[in-house]
Amino acid sequence: MTARCVRLSARNADALITSLMLPVMLMLVFVYLFGGAIETGTRYVTYVVPGVLVLCAGYGAAATAVSVSGDMAEGVVDRFRSLDVGGGSVLAGHVAASVVRNAAATAAVFAVAFAIGFRPEAGAAGWLAAVGVLAAYVVAFSWLSAAVGLLARTPEAASGFTFLVLFLPYPSSAFVPVETMPGWLHGFAEHQPATPVIEALRGLLLDRPVGSAPWLALAWCGGILAVSVAASAVLFRRRTA
């Protein structure tokens, strides 16, 4: 199932190019168009890369909703089930393919980031921890996207979830410090899933104190994952009954 989903992603050239290039283009826009006007206490490219990584991860994970909804609409899942393929395998294949797509997109973001001056200071342990936090975010939101894909009746409806996830890093510490935002927005910006993930990546990659950010990030991801897997199981049974 994973190999099938990866092949389908590779054949959809337009979506693949968009998932690889959109985060890179957004990073270049923020660094070169807005970075000079934003004060973060450090070089803006150093500040913004963790946020772009989370933006990239969310966008790539959200594409799972469209692919799952497409499978349900085309009836291919009924054929799989006639071949004794379980629903868990079908959905897990989509999630695993999402991880593969995100790994490629993350590599592209890092390549461009290094080219424009991003210089992380993390050691091996810091890199492993950062990869683990980012992977947890991808897996959690991929399963959430799978649940949305089962809930949506058409791929077009499922694609709306992409914009919601793409928007999530903006009211966070991804592109500007939270304290520079209006006061009424602080509560949401400080207590939403993207912020602890971004703060954890920023601290780990730059070898700075991270406090409780990694644990908060993993707690958010674990909670989203548990709810999403349970919801996916229920929704899959209802859609295929």
Per-residue confidence in pLDDT tens, the chain, 241 aa: 888 888 877 777 676 777 778 888 888 888 888 877 788 878 888 999 999 999 888 888 888 888 888 878 777 776 776 776 666 788 888 899 889 888 888 888 899 999 988 888 888 999 999 999 999 999 999 999 999 988 888 888 888 777 788 788 899 988 988 988 998 999 999 999 999 999 999 999 998 888 899 999 999 999 999 999 999 989 888 877 7
Q: Write down the pLDDT at residue 105.
A: 87
Q: Write down the pLDDT at residue 3.
A: 87
Q: Write down the pLDDT at residue 63.
A: 85
In degrees, rounded to 5, the angle at the alpha carbon of residue 177 between the alpha carbons of residues 61 and 130 is 45
Q: Write down the pLDDT at residue 87.
A: 66
Best CA proximity match to 134, nearest among 197, 225, 212: 197
Cα 71 from Cα 29, distance rounded (Å)? 35
The 10s digit of each residue's pLDDT in 56-81 is 888 888 888 888 888 787 777 767 76
Q: Write down the pLDDT at residue 221.
A: 95
Question: Are the beta carbons of 91 and 166 closer than 8 angstroms?
Answer: no
Question: Are the beta carbons of 23 and 52 closer than 8 angstroms?
Answer: yes
Q: Write down the pLDDT at residue 130.
A: 94
Cα 75 from Cα 82, distance rounded (Å)? 11
